[in-house]
Structure 1
Amino acid sequence: MSSRALILGCAGRSLTPEEAAFFRDVRPWGFILFKRNIGTPDEVRALTNALRDCVGRADAPILIDQEGGRVQRMGPPHWPAYPAGRAYARFDGAAAAIARLGARLMAHDLADVGINVDCAPVLDVPVAGAHDVIGDRAYGTTPNAVAEIGRAVAEGLMAGGVLPVMKHIPGHGRAGCDSHKGLPVVETDLETLAIQDFVPFRALADLPMAMSAHVVFTALDPERPATQSRIVIEQVIRGAIGFDGLLMTDDLSMHALTGPFRARAEASFAAGIDMALHCNGDMAEMRGAAEGAPLLAGAAARRAEAALARLAGAGEGLDLPEARARFAAALSAAA
């Protein structure tokens, strides 16, 4: 039976009977975990196993936002604290190598508890005066610096058997408000966007997955955010940027989007999105999103299969104590 083009969250550290029955019926392609879902390592393993049992797929994607800094769902006391993306800029010529090592260690933490997709790297290029929702999550302030360190993070994750998701395509760095709370409108001209905001995504267009930005770009589509704009998806994401991987929405429950959840999902798929994401575990909202999400088919199914195929044979050996010591020493030296 086909999966539904949907990634869903759950409410707590274990599944309720209602959640398990709903997931078995809806058959989402994958799941996403947040801090509310994270207990001990054994509890997280039990949850990832239970989620996969619901859909009957041992390789079902389980996602998390594990960037480091203020966006880190798994942290002390069970896992290390990792620095925010901006911290790697301190390493000058060694920035990419240290960022790759940090991502490789994160991948170990995630894979050890059954998580196989990380919503990173953040490829947004922040500009002066923008809202700090991106801020120190960005790897730098120039497109080339963001692309270089973003590539290293993606490689580190894949070396540990975890798929990266680049975000927030085609760029969230100019947003004047937090898209969790409102709809950002960017009025920058297309030429400027093309030579700055789009550059890191174009440089990493070969990555398997990307998350869309809930941002209106008036130079392209003054009415709809990128997530729900066929113009942005066809002309920029698939066109100018050249991304042909699996394109998923940012969270449908964010306040940048409005209307019933079925309509939010339907508008996203009508624009060309491959996969809808709903994060907060609210059952009524999830039911609405599921009603608006089709079964995986066509190009979306091809892209989803190709993304998972990148996990086959992925992973490299790691001397964990040595790698953790080397990473800690590098951070200490740069402090």
Structure 2
Amino acid sequence: MTHAAPVILDIAGTRLTAADRQRLGHPLTGGIILFARNWESRAQLDALCAEIKRVRGDLLICVDHEGGRVQRFRTDGFTHLPPMRALGELWMHDGKGGPGSGAMRATNAASAAGYVLAAELRACGVDLSFTPVLDLDHGDSAVIGDRAFARDSRVVSLLAKSLMHGLLRAGMSNCGKHFPGHGFVRADSHTDIPVDRRSLKAILADDAAPYGWLNTTLDSVMPAHVIYPKVDARPAGFSSRWLNDILRHQLGFGGAIFSDDLSMAGARQIDGREVTYTEAAVAALEAGCDLVLLCNQSLDGGVAVDALLDGLAEAQLKARWQPREASEMRRLALLPHSPALPWDDLMCSPEYIHALELLP
């Protein structure tokens, strides 16, 4: 039987409980996503990550740590990274602010930001940050807003590529999000089901363009819980047309695909009806996702997490979902393949100190 571990789950506290260890040891669990509630200090985070790896060494430890308002760890030495819009603004001042501004300065600063972000996380045991945001800043989306580099897809692509170069130098993979673009719609998919009524041609020419331009650089992608009705009636993360026909075949992406959080409002209805977490996970995996996230469902004892793991195991037995070896290989490829620099060594590293000086 082909093995796959597609579930990324979370925990409620700053240390593992017996129930957490049991869930993390489940054969369908492939990783964990951390939040600010899982943070007390660098020493505690390092101990938590080590404890997770003792459960299973191949578990992928993830976090949303982009910079700006989406940065889970902010104290005990972690650098306050700028929002990505600050890098875009630096680019847009090209030729207006002297030698300290402009496009080339912005790309260098983006690489520095990626290096600092990844090196600090890896020094504490975190494997992957869900970054960079490739959404375009159309000006109407509050949930994206300054998380986006810029409005111009070319600027976004080059700054994202520079940021990903910094991540790579620190030994971390990347995740572009939210395919094919969340920036055009005003509604927030955490609390609503956004609908983008543009044509496929318009989306590919603008918001989705970075995914094609970066297809040799992106390690993973996270699709949006947004419906694009002129392309498919389902949100992108549950659409084989978006994930297989367009992202993989037309745009040439070969890495891992993560679902966005299945507990978000944008994932709670498929084909006009409310679905369980298991039904949503099966739909995402069958559409082409390699991994599925279920976040913030551990806070009440984890009943929903257990139901998802049990439900997905049952779906596999009943052949409603079949694991793919390629998906498991893509998950394993996201794990770091080089040792991390310990925190104290990082703090006196010339490369790190220089990167800090380049941040806007």
* 1:224 match: 234
Q: Label 1:2 to 1:230 Cα distance change in 2 as closer, same or farther (>3 A).
A: closer
Long gaps (5+) in structure 1: none
Q: Which residue of 2 aligns with 1:302?
A: 329
Corresponding residue for 1:312? 337
Aligned to 1:62, the other structure's residue is in SS state strand
For each residue in 1:5-31, what CA deviation from the matched residue of structure 2 results, as whole angstroms up to 9, or x when unmatched? 111111111111112122223451111
Counterpart of 1:29 in structure 2 is 30
**Which of 290, 296, 303 does residue 280 from structure 1 map onto?**
296
- Over 3 Å counting, the alpha-carbon distance change for 1:4 and 1:192 in structure 2 is same
SS of 1:167 mapped into structure 2: strand
Superposition map of 1:254-293 within 5 A: 254-258=264-268, 259-282=275-298, 283-290=302-309, 291-292=311-312
1:62 aligned partner: 61
Shift of 1:312: 2.5
Counterpart for residue 225 of structure 2: 214
Look up the SS of the partner of 2:292 in the other structure. Answer: strand
Q: RMSD over aligned Cα, in angstroms?
A: 2.2
C-alpha contact 2:24 2:31 (8 A) present in aligned 1: no
Q: How does 1:1-335 map to 2 (within 5 A)?
A: 2-54=3-55, 56-57=56-57, 59-89=58-88, 90=90, 91-93=101-103, 94-128=105-139, 130-206=140-216, 207-221=218-232, 223-258=233-268, 259-282=275-298, 283-290=302-309, 291-292=311-312, 296-308=323-335, 311-313=336-338, 320=348, 322-323=350-351, 325-331=353-359
What percent identity do the matched residue pairs reach?
Answer: 29
- Equivalent-residue separation in structure 1 for 2:107 and 2:250 (angstroms): 26
Q: How many equivalent residue pairs?
A: 326
1:157-182 deviation per Cα after TM superposition (whole angstroms, max 9, x unaligned) = 11101111111112111122111111
Encode CA deviations 1:67-103: one digit per residue, 9 max, x unaligned.
Answer: 1000000112431211000001214221011111111
Aligned AA for 1:302?
M
Note the C-alpha offset of 1:45.
Answer: 1.1
Q: 1:114 to 1:314 in 2, by over 3 A?
A: closer
Residue 66 of structure 2 aligns with an amino acid whose one-letter code is: E
The Cα of 1:325 is off from its aligned counterpart by 5.0
Structure 1 CA distance for aligned equivalents of residues 352 and 124 of structure 2 = 18
For residue 253 of structure 1, report the CA deviation from its aligned partner. Answer: 1.0
- For the residues of structure 1 that align with 2:23 and 2:183, how far apart are their CA atoms? 36
Deviation, 1:320, is 4.5
- Counterpart CA distance in 2 for 1:4 and 1:328 is 37
Contact residue 112 and residue 356 of structure 2 kept, 8 A: no
Distance change (3 Å), C-alpha of 1:252 and 1:329: same
Asked if 2 retains the 8 angstrom alpha-carbon contact of 1:86 and 1:138, the reply is yes
Tell me by how many angstroms 1:299 deviates.
Answer: 2.2
What secondary structure, in the 3-state scheme, does the structure 1 residue paired with 2:8 have?
strand
Query: Matches of 2:76 and 2:24 in 1, distance apart?
Result: 31
Q: Extract unaligned runs of 5+ from structure 2.
A: 91-100, 269-274, 317-321
Asked if the contact 1:166–1:210 (Cα under 8 Å) also holds between the matched residues in 2, the reply is yes
User: TM-score, with normalisation over the residues of structure 2?
Assistant: 0.84
CA distance in 2, matches of 1:305, 1:296: 14
Q: Distance in 1 between matches of 2:228 and 2:353?
A: 44
Aligned-partner residue type, residue 133 of structure 1: V
| 8 Å CA contact retained: 2:185, 2:194 | yes
Please identify the structure whose Cα radius of gyration is greater.
Answer: 2
Whole-angstrom CA distance in 1 between matches of 2:348 and 2:130: 23
Aligned AA for 1:210?
V
Separation (CA, whole Å) in 2 of partners of 1:243 and 1:325 = 34
Shift of residue 321, structure 1, vs aligned partner: 5.7
